[in-house]
Amino acid sequence: MADASYSTTPLLSVEHLTMRFGGLVAIDNLSFDVERSAITALIGPNGAGKTTVFNCITGFYKPTSGRIVLRSDANATDQDLGRLTETGRRYKTSTQGGVYLLERMPDFEISSKAKVTRTFQNIRLFTGMTVLENLVVAQHNTLMKASGWTVLGLLGAKSFVAAEQRAVEKAKNWLERIDLVDRADDPAGDLPYGDQRRLEIARAMCTDPVLLCLDEPAAGLNPKESSDLNALLQQIRREDGTSILLIEHDMSVVMEISDHVVVLEYGRKIADSTPDRIQSDPAVIAAYLGVEDEEFEATESELDHS
Partner 1 sequence: MAVTSRRDHAVTANAAKSGLSAAAKSGAFAALVILGLCFPIVAFRTRQDVSGSGGGLVLDERWATVAVLCAIGFFARFLWLALSDQRAQAGTWVSGHLISIPERYKKIAKYTGLALLLAYPFLMVAIAGPSGAIKWIDNFGIQILIYVMLGWGLNIVVGLAGLLDLGYVAFYAVGAYSSALLATYFGFSFWLCLPLAGIFAALWGILLGFPVLRLRGDYLAIVTLAFGEIIRLVLINWVDLTGGYAGISGIPRPTFFGLPFKFGPDGFAAALGIPFSPVHRLIFFFYLILGLAALTYFVTIRLRRLPIGRAWEALREDEIACRSLGVNTVSTKLTAFSIGAMFGGFAGAFFAARQGFISPESFVFMESAVILSIVVLGGMGSQVGVAVAAAAMIGGTEILRELGFLKAVFGSGFDPAQYRMLIFGLAMVAMMVLRPRGLISNREPSIILNERKSISGAHVKEGHG
Ligand X SMILES: Nc1ncnc2c1ncn2[C@@H]1O[C@H](COP(=O)(O)OP(=O)(O)O)[C@@H](O)[C@H]1O
C-beta closer to partner 1: residue 175 or 218: 175
* Residue 24 binds: one of ligand X, partner 1, Mg ion, none (C-beta under 5 to 8 A by kind): ligand X
Rounded to the nearest 10 degrees, what angle do helices 193-205 and 158-177 cross at?
A: 140
C-beta closer to Mg ion: residue 33 or 215: 215
C-beta closer to partner 1: residue 76 or 171: 171
Residue type for position 277:
R
| Member of 190, 295, 297, 302 binding partner 1 (CB under 8 A) | 190
Query: x/- binding map, residues 71-110, to partner 1, per CB under 8 A?
Result: ------------------------------------xxx-
Residues 123-152 that bind partner 1 (CB under 8 A): 124-130, 132-133, 136-138, 140-141, 143-144, 147, 150
Contact set with ligand X (CB under 6 A): 21, 24, 26, 44, 46-52, 303, 305
Q: To the nearest whole angstrom, how small is the minimum distance from the Cβ of residue 51 to Mg ion? A: 3
Q: Count CB-CB contacts under 10 A for residue 208.
A: 15
| Member of 110, 135, 199, 303 binding Mg ion (CB under 5 A) | 303
| Member of 9, 51, 119, 139 binding Mg ion (CB under 5 A) | 51
Q: What is the CA radius of gyration of the chain?
A: 20
Q: Which positions touch Mg ion (CB under 5 A)?
A: 51, 121, 303
